[in-house]
Amino acid sequence: MIGGLLAGCIKPDEVEQPVATPTLPSMPAGEPLEAPVPTLSSGEPVSPPLAADPITLIAEFIQRRGDVPSNITIWTDQRLEPDQLQAFTYSGAAGEPCAGFLLSAVPGAPSDNGAVACAEDLAAGAFAGVTLFLTSDGQPYSIVFGQVFDPTVSAITVIYTDGSSANAPPVQGGYVLVTPGIAEVSAIIGVDPAGNTVIPNVPQSAVR
């Protein structure tokens, strides 16, 4: 009797039917999706912004430092993580030899993280600028930069107050020595290829 009641409660049209899952159109294998190209209102594609010319960026930086440069030469362009360091020489408004450096967090974009200095005594054979700077992530560095005019000088040696020293050869007349942290300079010397002192005290110029 109970079996008959259970059998009578089941109706064929009450069985739940599976629901079809919608599917997306298939893409051919190996063909990646391409993002739409931005266009102008005229329908022409938008060109990506061009990075500014490095010489132009440095010239504008020097002008913001109050000088009118000419004959700019970038003699080194290297990474100083996480930034890009450029060192350069140029002629100042009065034609005097000058040097500087510029640190850029975004290569090709304007920056004011740098300094310039110019020779105050050409008879000295060289000059130096000494200062500190921070990278874009806050790391402190000490820097000595400048220009050499004496052709017998093959290297600039910097002696620090802790007794350590570093040296660098002039490249196209310019030189730069970068030291992590705050390093106080005791002396700056110009030497010849044999290691003999040519300039016992390279004069330090005002840095701006």
Q: What is the pLDDT of residue 15?
A: 47
pLDDT tens, position by position, 157-182: 999 999 999 999 999 999 999 999 99
Q: How confident is the model at residue 188, as a pLDDT?
A: 98
Nearest-angstrom CA–CA distance, 110 and 198: 38
Q: Read off the pLDDT of residues 89-104 as tens digits, 9 standing for 90 and up.
A: 999 999 999 999 999 9
User: Which pLDDT score, from 0 to 100, does residue 150 have?
Assistant: 97
Cβ(75)–Cβ(169) below 8 Å? no
Q: What span, in angstroms and rounded, lies between the C-alpha atoms of 144 and 142?
A: 7
Could you read off the pLDDT of 35-79 as tens digits, one per residue?
Answer: 555 555 556 665 555 568 999 999 999 999 999 999 999 999 999
| CA distances, 141 to each of 79, 136, 137, 189 (Å) | 14, 12, 12, 21
pLDDT band at 107 (very low <50, low <70, confident <90, very high): confident
Q: How many residues does the chain have?
A: 208
Predicted local distance difference test score (pLDDT) of residue 52: 83
- The Cα 204–Cα 63 span in angstroms is 21
Q: Is the pTM of this model over 0.85?
A: no
Residue 83 burial class via C-beta count within 10 angstroms: exposed 0-12, middle 13-18, buried 19 and up: buried
Q: Which residue has the higher pLDDT, 48 or 138?
A: 138
